[in-house]
Structure 1
């Protein structure tokens, strides 16, 4: 069974919750969906930052280029 979480929304959170539940969506469902979307957004931001870091890494780019050249010689046609 899931844990029960209690929070005290500030004015901004209350307004956001009102928007998310105006169509009749239960508060629990709205909060659960918002948490999942927020976690996915954070994960995507982290992945973008990691990709940018790798793209800026000259040594990594050189190694990747070498791997592609090596693989080209293995092509059947």
Structure 2
């Protein structure tokens, strides 16, 4: 059984919920989907920031290039 969560929506949240439920989607379904989407967006943002930091990391890029060179010598053909 899932936990029950309650919240007090402000006016912006009420408007957003009205948009998400105008097609008859139950409030619980809309909130659940919005939470999952928000978590996905946050995770993507963290990954983008990490990737951007790695692009700017000269030492990491040099190491990656060395690994690629080392792997090239292991090719069978």
TM-score (norm 1): 0.97
Post-superposition offset of 1:2: 1.1
Q: How many residues align?
A: 77
Q: Which residue of 1 aligns with 2:54?
A: 54
RMSD: 0.5
| Pairs within 5 Å for 1:1-77 | 1-77=1-77
TM-score, normalised to structure 2's length?
0.97
Unpaired segments ≥5 residues, structure 1: none
> What is the CA-CA distance between 1:65 and the residue it aligns to?
0.1
What CA distance in whole angstroms lies between the structure 2 residues aligned with 1:53 and 1:73? 29
Separation in 2 of the partners of 1:48 and 1:76?
35
After the TM superposition, which segments of 4 or more aligned residues of structure 1 sit over 3 Å from their partners?
Answer: none
Q: Determine helix, strand or coil for the equivalent of 2:69.
A: helix
Following the alignment from structure 1 to structure 2, what is the Cα–Cα distance between the partners of residues 55 and 31?
A: 36
